[in-house]
Amino acid sequence: MCGIAGIWHLNKDKVSKEKLKRFTDSMFHRGPDGAGYELFDNDTLGLGQRRLSILDLSENGKQPMSYADGRYWITYNGEVFNFEQIKHELEALGYKFISETDTEVILASFIAWGKACLDKFNGMWAFAIWDELEQQLFLSRDRFGIKPLYYTHQQDQLFAFASETRAFKFLNGFERTVDAQLLDLNIKDSYALEGLGYTIFKDIYQILPGHYMVVKKNEPIQQKRWWHIDDHLHQEIPKTLKEQAEKFYEIFKDACRMRLVSDVPLATALSGGLDSSSVYSVVNDILKNENIGRVNSDSQRAFSAIFPDLPQNEKEYADLAVQHFGGTINYIETDYTNLKEQIAKDTELCDFISNAPITAVSAVYKGMKQHGITVSLDGHGVDEMLYGYRDMVYNLFNDSLYNNHVKSRDEIKKVLIETYHPELRKVLKDRLENNIQKESGIISSGKRFIKGIARKLLKPETEQRLEYLPFKMPQTIGEPYDFSNKTFEERMVYHEFFEHCLPSLLRDFDRAAMMNSVEIRMPFMDWRLVTYVFSLPFESKIGKGFTKLLIREAMKGKMDETVRTRTFKVGIGSPVDYWFNGKLKDWVLDKIEDNSHKESLIIAYNNGGLDNQQVREAWHKINIELIK
Of 613 and 3, the one with more pLDDT: 3
Exposed e or buried b per residue across 231-267, where buried means at least 16 C-beta atoms within 10 angstroms of its C-beta = ebeeeeeeeebeebbebbbebbbbbbbbbbbbbbbbb
Share of the chain above pLDDT 90, in %: 63
Ramachandran angles phi, psi of 45, nearest 5°: -125, 135
Under 8 Å between Cβ of 98 and 25: no
Question: What was the pLDDT predicted at 476?
Answer: 60
Instruction: Indicate where the chain has its CATH 3.60.20.10 domain(s).
Output: 2-227
Cis amide prior to 64 (ω within 30 degrees): yes
Question: What was the pLDDT predicted at 34?
Answer: 95
Instruction: Indicate where the chain has its CATH 3.40.50.620 domain(s).
Output: 238-384+501-565
Question: What was the pLDDT predicted at 330?
Answer: 92
The CA distance from 83 to 95, in Å, is 14
Listed in sequence order, the residues at least 6 apart from 408 whose beta carbon sits closer than 8 Å to its beta carbon are 396, 400
Question: What was the pLDDT predicted at 510?
Answer: 96
Complete DSSP assignment for 186-212: HHH-TTTTGGGTB-SBTT-EEPPTTEE
Q: How confident is the model at residue 353 (pLDDT cuts 50, 70, 90)?
A: confident
Under 8 Å between Cβ of 589 and 613: no
The CA distance from 214 to 204, in Å, is 17
Under 8 Å between Cβ of 293 and 287: no
CATH topology of domain 2-227: Glutamine Phosphoribosylpyrophosphate, subunit 1, domain 1 (3.60.20)
Q: Is the pLDDT of residue 463 over 50?
A: no
Listed in sequence order, the residues at least 6 apart from 403 whose beta carbon sits closer than 8 Å to its beta carbon are none
- Ranges 57-66, 420-429, 536-545: which has the least confidence: 420-429
pLDDT digits (tens, 9 = 90+) for 156-166: 899 999 999 99
Residue 424 half-sphere exposure, CB side, CA atoms within 13 Å? 10
The CA distance from 211 to 196, in Å, is 12
Question: What was the pLDDT predicted at 403?
Answer: 83
Q: What is the mean pLDDT of residues 600-621?
A: 48
- Ranges 49-63, 193-207, 305-319, 597-611: which has the least confidence: 597-611
Q: Is the pLDDT of residue 457 over 60?
A: no
Q: What is the mean pLDDT of residues 434-440?
A: 63
Give the three-class secondary structure for 400: helix
Q: How confident is the model at residue 618 (pLDDT cuts 50, 70, 90)?
A: low
Ramachandran angles phi, psi of 89, nearest 5°: -65, -40
pLDDT digits (tens, 9 = 90+) for 418-436: 998 888 888 888 888 876 7
Q: Which of 4, 3, 6, 2 is nearest to 46 (CA)?
A: 6
Q: Is the pLDDT of residue 449 over 60?
A: no
Complete DSSP assignment for 68-99: TTTTEEEEEEEEETTHHHHHHHHHHTT---SS
Homologous superfamily, domain 238-384+501-565: HUPs (3.40.50.620)
Of 147 and 340, the one with more pLDDT: 147
Q: Give the single-character DSSP code of 12.
A: -
Question: What was the pLDDT predicted at 90?
Answer: 98
Question: What was the pLDDT predicted at 446?
Answer: 42
Q: How many residues does the chain have?
A: 628
Q: Best-predicted range by mean pLDDT among 231-240, 287-296, 430-439, 476-485?
A: 231-240
Question: What was the pLDDT predicted at 430?
Answer: 84
Burial of 617 per CB tally in 10 Å (0-12, 13-18, 19+)? exposed
Question: What was the pLDDT predicted at 334?
Answer: 78
Q: Which of 572, 567, 581, 502 is nearest to 534 (CA)?
A: 502
Exposed e or buried b per residue across 394-426, where buried means at least 16 C-beta atoms within 10 angstroms of its C-beta = bbbbbbbbbeeeeebbebbbebbbbbbeeeebe
Question: What was the pLDDT predicted at 141?
Answer: 98
pLDDT digits (tens, 9 = 90+) for 553-590: 999 999 999 999 998 877 666 777 777 777 777 777 77
- Ranges 2-6, 108-112, 495-499, 585-589: which has the least confidence: 585-589
Of 354 and 49, the one with more pLDDT: 49
Of 352 and 144, the one with more pLDDT: 144
Q: What is the mean pLDDT of residues 91-118?
A: 97
Q: How confident is the model at residue 615 (pLDDT cuts 50, 70, 90)?
A: low
Q: Is the pLDDT of residue 613 over 80?
A: no
Q: How confident is the model at residue 260 (pLDDT cuts 50, 70, 90)?
A: very high
Question: What was the pLDDT predicted at 448?
Answer: 41
451 residue type, one letter: K
Residue 152, strand partner residues: 160
Burial of 84 per CB tally in 10 Å (0-12, 13-18, 19+)? middle
Under 8 Å between Cβ of 354 and 508: yes
pLDDT digits (tens, 9 = 90+) for 213-249: 999 999 999 899 999 999 999 999 999 999 999 999 9
pLDDT digits (tens, 9 = 90+) for 513-539: 999 999 999 999 999 999 999 999 999
Q: Which of 189, 66, 214 is nearest to 139 (CA)?
A: 214
Residue 137, strand partner residues: 130, 215
